[in-house]
Amino acid sequence: MSGARALAIVNPAAGNGRGRRLAATLEASFAVAGLACDVVTTAGPGDATALARRAVLDGRRLVIAAGGDGTANEVANGMAGADAALGLFPLGSGNDFARALGYPRRSADLPAFLAAARERAIDVGEVNGRLFLNATGVGIDGHVAARVEASARVVGRTAGYFVGSLASIVLYRPQPMRVTLDGAVVEGRYLIVVASNGTHFGGGMHVAPNALLDDGLLDVTLGGDLGRIASVVALVRLYRGTHVNGTTITTRRARELRIELERALPIEHDGEVGHASELTIRIRPRALRVLVA
């Protein structure tokens, strides 16, 4: 594989199957913009990570993730720290990472954008050994992410996350947590704890308005023991980035945090779901090169 040619890794299921249709025309679209690019499709979960890792080992200097935030996450996990840059061809309904990087919304504009883009080194987060680009969270966030897929298939991921959040507010109660931020300990019952590298998650929720992708810090949002009505109000404000009130919802910055739980709970990282009873989250400064305007 030639290092002079980019590699586009396409998730064929992204965009309700749009990725499968796009894969057949993507190489020609890039060629018109002056970008030489080979195209491969993923066969299942984890495949994008393996393809990206092989691409950088074979000397590719540019790897393009064509899919949603989950695809970008997988590709980044295969190439962080390598002498190569990550580009995006957003096909998901949320595309929070592309939003943070200022990518154009129209797919027709993306080949020319990528052909003319410059490289920038950014931070990535790490939770229990796995990288994340936007955010990782535990509490109601993980509860929502574990249930959002069914409604997302009907109304789209952004609306699905909102619908799932409302349903979870009815069902989910704040859980006891011990949170250690750069050595400082806070304990209590928390509805949600989110560590953000980017500004958005959940398909447009403005969880960390002041987050920077290259400051070497995580923006940590702690939502305390909120009742159902207060949770609904906070959810609405979350889309505007006005949810932090300094009392029940606070924010801190840290390079590393540890979250200890009484039992395993769903956790979310860039829209993907796992389970854990303990989380170690840290920042890896400027560990990933990306294409930006």
Asked whether residue 3 carries a pLDDT value surpassing 60, the answer given is: no
Query: Among 65, 89, 116, where does a domain finish?
Result: 116
Asked whether residue 156 carries a pLDDT value surpassing 90, the answer given is: no
CA dihedral of 204, 207, 213, 216, whole degrees rounded to 10: -160
**123 is a domain residue:** no
Q: Are residues 28 and 104 in the same domain?
A: yes
Query: Among 92, 116, 140, where does a domain finish?
Result: 116
Provide the residue range defining the domain that includes 183.
Answer: 131-286
Dihedral-angle region of residue 47 (phi above 0 means left; psi in -120 to 50 means alpha; beta otherwise): alpha
Q: Exposed, middle or buried, 236 (CB in 10 Å: 0-12/13-18/19+)?
A: exposed
What is the predicted pLDDT for the residue at 94?
A: 79
Query: Among 116, 151, 174, where does a domain finish?
Result: 116
- For residue 22, give the amino acid letter: L
The percent of residues in the chain predicted with pLDDT above 90, rounded, is 82
Sequence-distant (6+) residues with CB within 8 A of 172 are 139, 140, 143, 191
Beta strand 6-10 with 37-41 is: parallel
Rg (CA), the chain: 19
Query: CA-to-CA distance for 277 and 188, rounded, in angstroms?
Result: 15
Cβ–Cβ < 8 Å for 180, 204: no
Asked whether residue 1 carries a pLDDT value surpassing 50, the answer given is: no
Query: CA-to-CA distance for 277 and 263, rounded, in angstroms?
Result: 5
Instruction: Please tell me the total count of domains within the chain.
Output: 2
Q: Are residues 101 and 55 in the same domain?
A: yes
Q: Are residues 220 and 193 in the same domain?
A: yes
Per-residue pLDDT of 225-245, as tens digits, reads 999 999 999 999 999 999 999
**126 is a domain residue:** no
Q: Are residues 281 and 139 in the same domain?
A: yes
What is the predicted pLDDT for the residue at 158?
A: 64
CATH of the domain at 220: 2.60.200.40
What is the predicted pLDDT for the residue at 143?
A: 84
**88 is a domain residue:** yes
Active-site positions? 272
Q: Are residues 138 and 213 in the same domain?
A: yes
Which residue in this structure is represented by tokens 């939003």? 99
Q: Are residues 163 and 230 in the same domain?
A: yes
Our measurement of the distance from residue 183's CA atom to the centroid of its chain's CA atoms, rounded to an integer in Å, reads 26
Per-residue pLDDT of 188-219, as tens digits, reads 999 999 999 999 998 889 999 999 999 999 99
